[in-house]
Amino acid sequence: MKKIIFNSFVLLSIIFIVSCSSKKSYDTPEDLVNANADFMNQEDFDGVMSTIHPQSPSYEMTEKLVKKIFEVYDLNYTIEKIKVLEQNDKEAKVEFIQITTKLKGPDFKNNKTTGVHTLKMDGDSWKIFSTEVQDLEFL
């Protein structure tokens, strides 16, 4: 009986460690912005959504948009610039420049987007709460 309890404890410990280690955490605003672009390049839906704050007013719209993009296009995302404009323990403003180019899919205008992400902490991880596009230049 002790062996069964011990084996059950070991199994539960392994499941706990695996589930905790699979949780994605972004310690710096720069880590978060780069991870978001990397997940978009990999077409990793769960990864992308792990970078979006669950309380974001555009969370559901982002889910739908990302799914549609992945269905229709194969795009490449390159972060050209990341600059933390302001940051405290709970919120950060991050300026970014992102180049988006089409690899496959229907008509798409390659572009250079300049904007500011508002990031908020979600537990111990930065997440994108909102994004303001300041400039969109077609390439």
How does pLDDT run across 47-58, given as a tens digit for each residue? 999 999 999 999
How does pLDDT run across 78-96, given as a tens digit for each residue? 999 999 999 999 999 999 9
Residues above pLDDT 90, as percent of the chain: 81
Cβ within 8 Å of residue 100, ≥6 positions away: 75, 76, 77, 78, 110, 111, 112, 113
How does pLDDT run across 13-41, given as a tens digit for each residue? 333 333 333 347 899 999 999 999 999 99
| Model pTM above 0.75 | yes
pLDDT band for 76, please (50, 70, 90 cuts).
Answer: very high
Residue 102, pLDDT score = 96
Residue 25, pLDDT score = 81
Nearest to 27 by CA among 72, 96, 111, 89: 89
- Angle at CA of residue 75, ends 53 and 72, nearest 5°: 90
Domain at 25-138, CATH class: alpha beta
Q: How far is CA 70 from CA 40, 43, 60, in A?
A: 8, 6, 16
Question: Does pLDDT of 73 surpass 60?
Answer: yes
Class of residue 21 by CB neighbours under 10 A (exposed 0-12, middle 13-18, buried 19+)? exposed
Beta bridge partner(s), residue 102: 75
